[in-house]
Amino acid sequence: MAGIRVWEWGEGGVLVELRGEFDQHIFGDLRETLDEVAPLGRPVLVDLARVTFLDVGATRELAVRSQLYARQLILCNPSWQVRASVGACGFGEWLAFRTDTDGSTCLQAS
């Protein structure tokens, strides 16, 4: 089961927290969420620490949205499952992750 939660973050930013499994049944929700928050011109932090599975479609959506909204989107703390999916799908050069152990760098990023 997958979940997407959207929160206000910092001064004008948005935190999108992803958790669970993202497959063909949920990546449309992922696309809609990112397409709603990213064009607002505010920084968008996407926390990937609790993602347990990404299929090729969801991985592609993250890659495409990270290119479309490169100035707004910050992909943060990918789980090992996210890294494995990105590597297996060949999107490693499309996605830049910020990683830290306590979340402070990502939560202060702009």
Q: What is the DSSP string of 6-72?
A: EEEETTTEEEEEEEEEE-TTTHHHHHHHHHHHGGGSS-EEEEEEEEEEE-HHHHHHHHHHHHHTTTT
Alpha-carbon distance of 32 to 23, in angstroms, equals 15
Beta bridge pairs of residue 78: none
State yes or no: pLDDT of 98 exceeds 50: yes
**Residue tagged 């990270």 (tokens):** 66
Mean of the per-residue pLDDT values of the chain? 86
pTM of the model: 0.84
Question: Contact, 17 vs 45, CB < 8 A?
Answer: no
pLDDT digits (tens, 9 = 90+) for 4-53: 999 888 778 899 999 999 988 888 898 999 999 988 888 999 999 999 99
Mean pLDDT of 93-102: 74
Closest CA to 81 of 53, 60, 100: 53
